[in-house]
Amino acid sequence: MNFRDLEYFVQLVKDRNYTKTAQAFNISQPTITYAIKRLENELKVQLFIRDQSHHQLDLTLAGQEFNDHAQNILQELTTAKADLLALSQQKIRFGLPPIIGTYYFPQLAKVLIKENIMSHLQTIEGGSATLQEKLSTGELDVALLGAISPLKLKNIKTLPLVRTDFKVIVSPDHPLKNKQSINFAALKNESFIALKEGFVHPAAFRQLTTANHFQPQIVYTTPDINVLKGMVHENVGISLLSELALNNEQEVHAIDLADQDQPHFEIVLAYRPQVNPLIDKLINALSQPVDQFPFPGK
C-alpha cells in the first residue's frame, strides 16, 4: 500500500472533490482518481459513491471505516518520523506548563544539568490540556502536567509526582483578608479573575462552582499567572490558585478551602514509551523522590 495514496484518500474525504484535492497537492486530477482506484482494488471494496444528480461525493460504509484506519496510519507514520529525528539529533521534546515550569521545574534543574540532560531538552510551553494533546499526537516525548484527577491517556504512561492544594487568593485590602479558611459556597457573590482554558485551574474552578451550585461572576480571564495575581492584589477580584504558585507570596492573601470534597493540584510525569536511552535517563531523573526537591520556602 502506498502512503501517498493514503494521504490523497484522507484529503479527498475532507474535500469531497477530486479537483480540490488535486489542487491541494499541486497534481493532476487523474492522479487522485488512479490513487483511489488502486486503494479500492487492493482493499477489494468501494470507498466512494459519486452522486451524479447532486454532484456529490459520498463515502461508503467501507470508506468510513477505512478513513479512521488511514488517519491512524498516517499519524503513526508522522510520529515515527519525528521520533527517529529526535533520536538522531539527541533531542527530547519536553512539555512544560507555566506554573510547573516557574515554581517546580527549577528544583530539578541541578539534577538535569548534572546528568547532562538539560542541553538535550527542546522545551514546549503550554497549558496542561494543550500539552496532553501534543503528547497524544506524538508532538511531545515527555511532559510534566498538572491534573486534578488521574490521567488516562492512550499509549501514554503517567507517574504522579507531587500533590498540592488549591487556595483562594484575595487582596490585602479585601474583606476576607483575615480569613484562614473558607467554604467555596461562601464566595458565590464574589467577582473572580480566572486563568484561560488549557490550564488545569479552570477545571478545578468548574468542579467547585458546580459542586456548590452557583454560576461565578468572572470579570477577567488571562493566561498569565502574574497578571492574575496582580489584578487580585489590586482588588479587581479574587481567584483560585495552586499553592505551588504562592510560596513566599506577599502580594495576595491565601485562604485554605474548607470543602471536604475539593480538587487538588497534582504534578504528573507523562511520557510516550519509546526506545530512547536519553528519554529513559530524563524520566529517571524527573521521577526521583519529591522530598529531594522541596518547594521554595518549605
Q: Provide the whole-model pTM.
A: 0.67
The pLDDT score that the predictor gives to residue 52 is 65
pLDDT digits (tens, 9 = 90+) for 8-63: 999 999 999 898 999 999 999 999 999 999 999 999 999 998 876 556 788 999 98
User: What are the pLDDT digits (tens) for 229-284?
Assistant: 999 999 999 999 999 888 665 689 999 999 999 999 999 999 988 768 888 889 98
Question: What domains appear along the chain, each with residue ranges and CATH number?
Answer: 3-86 (1.10.10.10), 88-162+265-292 (3.40.190.10), 164-264 (3.40.190.10)
Q: Which grid cell is 175? A: 474583606
In the chain, what is the straight-line distance between the N-terminal and C-terminal CA atoms, in Å? 59
Per-residue pLDDT tens for 109-142?
Answer: 888 998 889 988 999 998 888 899 898 888 899 9
